[in-house]
Amino acid sequence: MANMSSLSMVDQAAQIHRPDCASFGPTPAIPIAPLPEGVDDGVIAYGLQARPIYSALKRVIGQVAGLLILLEASGRREALDLPSLASVEETWNDLSDSLAALRSPARLDRHQQQLMSARRLLGTCLAALRQQQDAVGRPDMTIALGNLAAAYRHLQSASEDRFGMTMVDFRHSCCNCGSDAS
């Protein structure tokens, strides 16, 4: 096998995928799973309004996790001076208005509560990160990690594939050139 660092990106992909792999070329459209019969317009409207909130919460979880990893790996608080912390805080702040405007049908109140709980827990993570900026000694992110894990669980509980609210979407992942046909 050739040295991967000396190959172009296309040549590197050819080392991993067969030429007939569906990963090459345009990505085919992914059909949206139809909603079951009897779903009313209020549920549909809620789902469409909740999806960007869910996506933003998922992004905040990823960014906070990245900052925690960076802080833990480096042991240096300068990692918290990066613009990414301010960016994630801005996204988190914007979620307050979005969640306040979200109107759920009564049967989806629990779903909305999961989103709100995830946001609240992420706020405690961000506050813990900010507190570490002025702390002395090795950073202690125990509380932040616990709250991050809890926020992830709340968001995972709010996952709904029919509205594209999934924690990890494997639909675009590499198939290792496996055959779709049985």
Report the distance separating Cα 87 and Cα 17, nearest Å.
36
Does 99 reside within a domain? Answer: yes
Q: What 3-state DSSP class applies to 165?
A: strand
176 DSSP 8-state letter: T
Does 142 reside within a domain? Answer: yes
Does 141 reside within a domain? Answer: yes
Q: What digits encode the pLDDT tens for the residues 105-157?
A: 888 888 999 999 999 999 999 998 888 777 767 777 888 899 999 999 999 88
| Across 42-47, average pLDDT | 87
Asked if 167 contacts 58 with a C-beta cutoff of 8 angstroms, the reply is yes
Report the distance separating Cα 45 and Cα 104, nearest Å.
9
Q: What digits encode the pLDDT tens for the residues 83-98?
A: 888 889 999 999 999 9
Q: How many domains does the chain have?
A: 1
Does 4 reside within a domain? Answer: no
Does 169 reside within a domain? Answer: no
Does 150 reside within a domain? Answer: yes
Other beta carbons less than 10 A from residue 131's beta carbon: 14
Domain that holds residue 63: 41-164
